[in-house]
Amino acid sequence: MINANKKIASNENIVEELYNPLNYQIIRKNFSSIYLKKNLIAPFMLQDGNCLLAITKKTKNDVISDILIKLDTQDKKIIILPSEELINLINSIYDTSMESIKGSNNGQSDEFLSDNSSTDKSDEFENLKNFEHIDLIDENSDAPAIKFINTIILEAVKENASDIHIEPFQDYLLVKFRIDGSLIEKIRPQVNLKNSIVSRIKVMAGLDIAEKRLPQDGRIQLVARNRNIDIRVSIVPTIFGERVVLRLLDKSLDIYDISEVGIDEKFIPLVKNALAKSTGMIISTGPTGSGKTTTLYSFINEVIKLFSDKNVLTVEDPVEYQIKGISQINVNNKIGLTFAKGLRHILRQDPDIIMIGEIRDSETAEIAIQSAMTGHLVFSTLHTNDSASTFARLTDMGIEPFLIASSITIVFAQRLMRKLCPFCKKSYVLNDENIKLLAEKIDINTNINNNLNIADNNLTIIKGILKSGNFYIQTGCKECGFTGYKGRTAIYEILEVNDEIRSLVMSRASSQEIKSKAIENGMSTLRIEAIKKFAAGTTSLAEVIRVSEED
Ligand SMILES: [Zn+2]
C-alpha cells in the first residue's frame, strides 16, 4: 500500500518536471525539435542531475542509448506518453516565439529585428522540405527574418487574423493584420529587413527568389499552435519593393451549426426545408469575404446530420476547411482542373450532394443547373450584390430562364457585420441626427433603385424596429485592441423561389420586380436585418451604414 502511494507521488513529480520551463533550455541547446519529433523522444536533464526521458511506445531503444551517450549519463527515469502528447510537449519546449513578439511590441526589439544578412541557411530548408507540413516551432533559427516571419504567423493565428500584409514604403515597412474584416497595424520592422523577409517567404512558398520584377503567387502549408494552416501567398512588386499578402486558411476551425451562422430564427425552417430535399440548387451570394463559403459548409454539416448515407463531393478554390466524411477537390487552373472540369468528374463519382465553390462561367453554371435538375442537391455561390440579381446573372451566362426557375429553391445574400465588444460597448439614446443619417443612406439607395415602393415599405419597418431597441456605440478597450469590436456575425436576405417568383423569372422580369415580389412575400432585406442587429445591441450604427453602402 505504502509503496503504491509512493510510486504515484513520484510519478506526479515526474509529470511536473515535464512542464517545468527551467528544464527546457538544455534540450533546446542540444537537440533540434525535428530530431526529437522524428525519434519520438524528449530528454530532460533535471536540476537534481537525473535524466528523464519522455518517450512513446514506438520510440526505438538505440535512440535512447544515443541520447544517453550524448548527455553523458546512464541514470535515467522513463515516462511513456501517447505520441500526440509527446509532440505537443516538444512543441511547447521550442515555442519561444511569443516571448520575442512581446519584446517587439514594447519597443525592446532592436536586437531581434536588426538585420543580419546571413539569413538563408540552405541545409535548414532542405530539412524542412522533407516534411509535407512545416511545424513553425521546428524552426528554431536565430536568423532575424526567419524568426520574424514565424513570430508574425504565430501571432496572426493566435489573434484569428485572416490576412497578414507586409507593405514596403520609402523609409519604413509596415505589417498589418486583418482581424474581423478590418486592417490593423501591428508592427513596423526595420526597413533593411525588407529583402530578407520577402526572400524567406518565397522560400517557404517555393517561389523564385531571384524574380523581383513580376508578381508571384504561391502557397505554404504549415502547422502553428497545433492547427493546420494553409497560406495563400501573393507577392506584387511596388516602386518601394515587394508587397506581400498572406491569406491564412485555418483548416482546423469548427464548422458552424446552421443555427449559429446568424440566420434569423424565423427563417431557419425555410432553410431546413430546402436542405431536406434531394434535388434543387441553393445559391449563396455576396461580395468576396462575406462569409458565403462558411454558410455553405454549415449547410453541408446540416445535411450530413440529417442523412448519414449521402455522398457529398465538393470542388473548391481553394478548399477552405476540411470537413470529415466528405470528399473535397481543389481547383487547379494551372493544370487545367477548372470548376467545370472538376464538376464533370465529380458527377461520375455518384454524388448525392455537390458543392461548387463558385459559379464564374457559363459552362459551370450549365452543369450545375443540370445536376440540380437530375437528382442532386447542389450548393454554390455567385458574385452578385443581392439575392434578386442572381436570376439575371445566370440568364446573362446563357442559361434559359425556365431552367433557372425550375432548379433554384433558395437564394441567400449575405454580409458580415462586426459585433460590438461586450467589454466596452456603451449604451446611448438614438437621437434625431442618427435617425436622419440612417434615413439619408436609405434615400441614396432609393434614388439609385428608383423604386419608391420598396423604400416606403422599408421606412415603415425601420421605424418599427427602431421604436424599441437597445442601442450601443463602439468605444474601445484592451480586450478588443481598442477597435470597439470583437468577432463578426452574418446577416442574411433569404429569397424563397415560390410559384410567383418562378413565373417572374420565366418571364424575364427585372431584378427590382423580383425583389419587390419577394419582399411582398415576406423576405427581409439585408438593410432591415442589419438594423435589427443594431436594435438588438449586437452592432453599431456605423456598421449598419457601412453594410448599407456596400449594398
Ligand atoms: Zn472593447
Q: Express each pLDDT in 189-203 by its tens digit.
A: 888 888 999 999 999
The alpha helices in 253-327, defined as continuous H runs, are 268-275, 292-306
From ligand 1's centre to the CA of 441, what distance in Å?
27
Distance from the CA of 418 to the center of ligand 1, in angstroms? 12
**458 or 162: whose pLDDT is higher?**
162
Q: Please give the distance, rounded to the nearest whole angstrom, from the Cα atom of residue 39 to the centre of ligand 1.
A: 46
Cα 153 to Cα 202: distance, rounded to the nearest angstrom: 15
Cβ–Cβ under 8 Å, residues 279 and 197 = no
Residue 548 has pLDDT above 90, yes or no: no
Decide: 404 and 507 in contact? Cβ < 8 Å.
no
Cell triple for 477: 478597450
In sign, the C-alpha dihedral spanning 327, 331, 332, 338 is: positive
Place of cell 456575425: 489
Cis peptide before 82 (omega within 30 of 0): no
- What is the Cα–Cα distance from 67 to 448, expressed in whole angstroms? 74
Residue 15 C-alpha to ligand 1 middle, in angstroms? 38
Q: Say what the pLDDT of residue 111 is.
A: 28
Tell me the CA–centroid distance for residue 420 and ligand 1, in Å. Answer: 8
346 alpha carbon – ligand 1 mean position (Å): 46
Under 8 Å between Cβ of 502 and 376? no
201 Cα to the center of ligand 1, angstroms: 33
Q: CA angle at residue 443 from 441 to 449, to 5 degrees?
A: 110
Cα 481 to averaged position of ligand 1 atoms, centre (Å): 7
The band of 411, judged by pLDDT with boundaries at 50, 70 and 90, is very high
Reported as a pLDDT band with limits 50, 70 and 90, residue 144 is confident
Q: What is the pLDDT of residues 84-127, one digit of tens each?
A: 888 888 887 877 654 443 333 333 332 222 233 333 333 333 33
Q: What residues have CB less than 8 Å from 271, skipping those under 6 apart? A: 258, 263, 299, 410, 494
Q: Separation of 180 CA from ligand 1 center, angstroms? A: 14
Interstrand relation of 227-238 and 134-135 (parallel, antiparallel or unpaired): unpaired
Diameter of the chain by CA atoms? 88
Q: Which residue has the higher pLDDT, 397 or 115?
A: 397
Ligand 1 centre to CA of 486 (Å) is: 7
* Integer CA distances (angstroms), 473 to 263, 424, 469, 534, in order: 23, 9, 13, 10
Q: What is the band of 365 on the pLDDT scale with cuts at 50, 70, 90?
A: very high
Whether residue 378 is predicted with pLDDT greater than 80 in this model: the reply is yes
DSSP state of 337: B
pLDDT, averaged across the chain: 82
- CA 262 to centroid of ligand 1, rounded, Å: 21
If you measure from the C-alpha of residue 475 to the centroid of ligand 1, how many angstroms do you get, rounded to a whole number? 7
The full 3-state SS of 345-364, as one line of letters, equals HHHCCCCCEEEECCCCCHHH
Residue showing cell 518601394: 240
* 8-57 residue pLDDT tens: 445 667 777 887 777 888 888 888 888 888 889 999 888 777 888 999 88
What local confidence, expressed as pLDDT, does residue 18 receive?
A: 82
C-alpha cell of 431?
437621437
CA of 416 to the centre of ligand 1 (A): 19
pLDDT band at 382 (very low <50, low <70, confident <90, very high): very high
Report the distance separating Cα 19 and Cα 506, nearest Å. 68
Q: How far is the CA of 419 from the centre of ligand 1 (A)?
A: 10
Sign of CA dihedral 88, 231, 363, 518: positive
- What's the pLDDT at 141? 58
Please give the pLDDT value at position 136.
61
- When pLDDT is cut at 50, 70 and 90, the band that residue 424 belongs to is very high
Whole-Å CA distances, 225 to 55, 89, 115, 233, 250: 21, 12, 27, 20, 11
Ligand 1 geometric centre to CA of 297 (Å): 30
How far does the centroid of ligand 1 lie from the alpha carbon of residue 109, in Å?
27
pLDDT for 15? 77
| Cα–ligand 1 centroid distance for 256 (angstroms) | 24
Task: Give the distance (Å) from ligand 1 centre to CA of residue 369.
Answer: 46
Query: What three-state secondary structure class fits 215?
Result: coil
Cβ–Cβ < 8 Å for 54, 90:
no
> How far apart (Å, rounded) are the C-alpha atoms in residues 367 and 380?
12
| Cα-to-centroid distance, 191 and ligand 1 (Å) | 32
Whole-number Cα distances in Å, 336 to 41, 120, 227, 314, 327: 44, 34, 30, 17, 20
Q: How far is the CA of 356 from the centre of ligand 1 (A)?
A: 38
Gap from CA of 462 to ligand 1 centroid (Å)? 28
In this predicted structure, what is the pLDDT of residue 371?
95
Averaged over 490-501, what is the pLDDT? 95
Q: Is the pLDDT of residue 327 over 80?
A: yes
Question: How far is ligand 1, taken at its centre, from the CA of residue 183, in Å?
Answer: 17
Residue 225: DSSP 8-state = T
Q: Is pLDDT larger for residue 164 or for residue 259?
A: 164
Distance CA(194)–CA(509), nearest Å, equals: 55
Whole-number Å distance, alpha carbon 250 to ligand 1 midpoint, is 25
Question: Ligand 1 mean position to 182 CA, how many Å?
Answer: 15
Calculate how far, in angstroms, residue 540's C-alpha sits from the geometric centre of ligand 1. 13
Residue 57 Cα to ligand 1 middle (Å)? 48
**Looking at per-residue confidence, does 27 or 451 come out higher?**
27
Cβ(401)–Cβ(380) below 8 Å: no
Going from the C-alpha of 513 to that of each of 107, 169, 389, 410, 518, the distances in angstroms are 59, 49, 10, 17, 9
Query: Residue 433's pLDDT is what?
Result: 79
The Cα–Cα gap between 353 and 358 comes to 15
Cα→Cα distances 347→25, 111, 352, 486, Å = 56, 57, 9, 42
Lowest pLDDT segment from 6-10, 205-209, 346-350, 416-420: 6-10
Q: How far away, in angstroms, is 533 Cα from ligand 1 center? A: 18
Average pLDDT over residues 132-154: 71
The answer to whether 33 and 137 have CB atoms below 8 angstroms apart is yes
Q: How far apart are CA 117 and CA 145, in angstroms?
A: 9
pLDDT score recorded for residue 466: 84
Per-residue confidence (pLDDT) for residue 251, from 0 to 100: 66
Which of 7-11, 102-106, 359-363, 516-520 shows the lowest per-residue confidence on average (mean pLDDT)? 102-106
- Ligand 1 is an ion; its neighbours by CB within 5 Å are 421, 423-424, 477, 479-480
Gap between the Cα atoms of 330 and 96, Å rounded? 35
For residue 424, the CA-to-ligand 1 centroid distance in Å is 4
For position 124, what pLDDT does the model report?
Answer: 32
Q: Ligand 1 centre from 313 Cα, in Å? A: 41
Question: How far, in Å, from the CA of 472 to the mean position of ligand 1?
Answer: 12
How many Å apart are CA 406 and CA 408, to the nearest integer? 6
Model pLDDT, residue 101:
38
CA of 537 from ligand 1 middle (Å) equals 14
- For residue 179, report the distance from its CA to the centre of ligand 1, in Å: 14
